[in-house]
Structure 1
Amino acid sequence: MIENDPYATPQSEIREPAVHAIEVPEEITRHIRYGWIAAVVSGTLTLAMTLIFILGQSEEALLGVWNFVDVVLVFGLAFGIYRNSRIAATLMFSYFLLSKILIMMETGKPAGLVLSIVFLIFYFRAMVSTFRFHSFIDHARRFPPPPRQRVSDDPLFRPKPSAGGPER
């Protein structure tokens, strides 16, 4: 074979860019975690109520089937919040608020108001924290921290050589 083939693809050394793991503060990630957990709890409660409704009433079972769309939507938005999606967090907050307003207008009673406010607080904090998360990541990518330097490599921290033998 010809070692210096002029038609061969040139080879070059490929180095991966230095990527620093960005550590997001706990105060941001905690609210996002609580938001998707609240969404999973809400979806589970909705699923349980839908199954009870379908199994209990056979003549209006079609309305209960439409609640499965609600369950799938809530679980999908919970996954989006888990993945730090600003859109999913905003949609979850807006959807939950709108659905509670419509239920209260339809029934005329503020049923479950306290629990709804608790869920809204979790969703609002998750929504704000997803925006803070992306802002923090963008800032960290624009202005990366300098690479950590080992103390032994720093010339200011090198041990001074001893002039008279072993130290006691």
Structure 2
Amino acid sequence: MNSEWNQVRLILNKLDYHRSIRVPKSDVPPPTVNNGFEESIGEPENQIRDMRIRINGTECMHVKEYDEYYNVHRDRVDPKYDPLGHLIYDSPEVIVAVGVGILSGYEAAKNHYRNVENSSEHPLLESIIVGILSTANTGVSVYQSGKRFREWVERYNYN
């Protein structure tokens, strides 16, 4: 990591996890494989790309590139080395959303099947579709609510 990105890392170390800072592109060289960064993925927020570099043991610096600046924060766990740990510590809302979505979809499909099994030509197919739609709808709603809640908690330093 070059000196400009090292300065960004030192600033992030003083902040809470996930607290983003905006870094103008003119202040740092592009994050590339040559200076230790790796292509990554992140929650879609209209960024051009995501890059990460491992810092401080299991932590990583997550860089989201936009047209004129980088949005940078620090994660507790680098997803490349511990994807489940990253979900647990940095994006628990994903795990909750998937779990609640699956349970919701299962219950919706089961109830729909019971209601139409004797009156529909395709009760199983209909129930599968109902289950998929319920899983997606509930999962997205729980994810968005969970993300807002996590951000609120982090904003008020309850972590």
TM-score, length-scaled by structure 1: 0.32
Greater strand share, structure number: 2
Greater helix share, structure number: 1
Larger Rg over CA atoms = 1
Higher relative contact order (Cα pairs below 8 Å, separated by 6+ residues)? 1
